[in-house]
């Protein structure tokens, strides 16, 4: 497959490596994050996701390799980030916290601080709670305020590290909705997570990490489609059905009375039904199943993922 054009990528890395002592936390990482995508950066805890994000943002230096954000043109100025949860003054309001952060930006015009803060709060739906003290915010509101802080200036890229970590279902839905709205406005969102529920609902592209290495990346639809479909036959003649299916499919098994098998690309499901009927096997039920996303990740990493969220 041809490599994507550099101008179509919001993030690109080449051989990015971070070594701590004799341990490679991240090794030979080649990321290609399409501009305008919601890129799910996935992997079990400890797989190197946060270390990668810290290298992308210049918070730690790589041992080897390089990373380029937004073609390198005013990259950090055009990038917002939320890494390992927001930190704010609990006794200050949402507005006051953002005003303090804005004042720390030497490139920001102090005459327009209030407009920037108001726009950022409105963007994340926190205007009604703008005057409330941070310590009274719910977890979902705190995460949204963290994203508002990242959006005080116009951003082309937003890097979020586990933005729904610890949130209840309502807070998780709020963050998902916000990510969808940002993506609709053309912001590239790089989303580090271990929750497959997030991936399925908001991501267009994914990269899968395992033990510090990138084991797969591409469109989410391509990741799901790479799994061989399986057929399931419900019949009163399982052994006869298994014999017929064995001529057309592989890995044929009888599971809980049903006959299942992996269907090759060159065999249509209709051909399986026709062969069963032609051989005198009664078919009570027939289904084509694809592996669940959880199974796909287990195959790639050898580890389970949290499917909640």
Whether the Cβ atoms of residue 146 and residue 85 lie closer than 8 Å to each other: yes
Separation CA 4–CA 9 (nearest Å)? 7
Q: Which domains does the chain have, with CATH numbers?
A: 6-217 (3.40.50.300), 230-289 (3.30.70)
> Would you say residue 5 has pLDDT above 70?
no
pLDDT at 309: 43
| Residue listed under structure tokens 């200050």 | 92
Residue with tokens 């009570």: 284
Using one digit for the tens of pLDDT, what is the confidence trace for 169-227?
A: 888 888 888 899 999 999 999 999 877 777 888 999 999 999 999 999 999 988 877 77
Biggest distance spanned by C-alpha atoms of the chain? 83
The whole-model pTM stands at: 0.80
The reported pLDDT for the residue numbered 164 is 83
Q: Per mean pLDDT, which range of 113-117, 146-150, 193-197 is the poorest?
A: 193-197
Examine the pLDDT at 228 and tell me if it is beyond 80.
Answer: no
**Mean predicted lDDT score pLDDT of the chain:** 89
**Ramachandran quadrant class, 83 (left: phi over 0; alpha: psi -120 to 50; beta: rest):** beta
Percent residues over pLDDT 70 in the chain: 94
Q: Which residue has the tokens 């705190």?
A: 142
DSSP 3-state of 170: helix
- Annotate 213-226 with b (16+ C-beta within 10 A) or e (fewer): bbbbbeebeebeee
pLDDT > 90? residue 1: no
Per-residue pLDDT, 119: 95
3-state SS record for 217-276 = EEEHHHHHHCCCCEEEEECCCHHHHHHHHCCCCEEEEEECCEEEEECCCCCCHHHHHHHH
Average pLDDT over residues 240-263: 92
pLDDT band at 74 (very low <50, low <70, confident <90, very high): confident
């Amino acid at each position: 497959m041809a490599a994507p054009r550099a101008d179509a990528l919001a993030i690109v890395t080449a051989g990015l490596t971070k070594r701590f002592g004799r341990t490679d936390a991240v090794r030979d990482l080649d990321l290609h994050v399409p501009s305008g995508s919601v890129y799910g950066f996935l992997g079990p805890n400890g797989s190197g996701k946060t270390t990668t994000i810290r290298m992308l943002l210049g918070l730690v230096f790589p041992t080897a390799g390089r990373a380029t954000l937004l073609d390198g043109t005013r990259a950090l100025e055009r990038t917002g980030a939320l890494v390992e949860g927001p930190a704010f003054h609990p006794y200050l309001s949402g507005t006051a916290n953002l005003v303090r952060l804005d004042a720390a930006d030497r490139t920001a015009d102090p005459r327009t601080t209030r407009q920037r803060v108001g726009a950022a709060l409105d963007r994340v739906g926190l205007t009604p709670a703008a005057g409330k003290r941070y310590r009274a915010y719910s977890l979902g509101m705190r995460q949204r305020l963290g994203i508002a802080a990242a959006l005080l200036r116009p951003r082309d890229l937003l890097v979020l590290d586990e933005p729904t970590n610890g949130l209840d279902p309502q807070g998780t839905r709020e963050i998902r909705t916000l990510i969808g709205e940002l993506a609709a406005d053309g912001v590239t969102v790089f989303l580090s997570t271990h929750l497959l529920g997030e991936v399925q609902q908001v991501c267009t592209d994914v990269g899968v990490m395992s033990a510090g290495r990138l084991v797969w990346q591409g469109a989410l639809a391509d990741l799901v489609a790479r799994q061989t479909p399986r057929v399931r036959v419900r019949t009163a003649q399982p052994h006869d059905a298994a014999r017929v299916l064995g001529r057309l499919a592989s890995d044929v098994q009888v599971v809980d009375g049903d006959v299942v098998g992996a269907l090759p690309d060159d065999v249509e499901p209709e051909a399986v039904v026709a062969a069963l009927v032609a051989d005198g096997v009664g078919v009570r039920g027939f289904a084509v199943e694809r592996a669940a996303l959880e199974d796909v990740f287990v195959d790639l990493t050898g580890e389970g993922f949290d499917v909640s969220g």
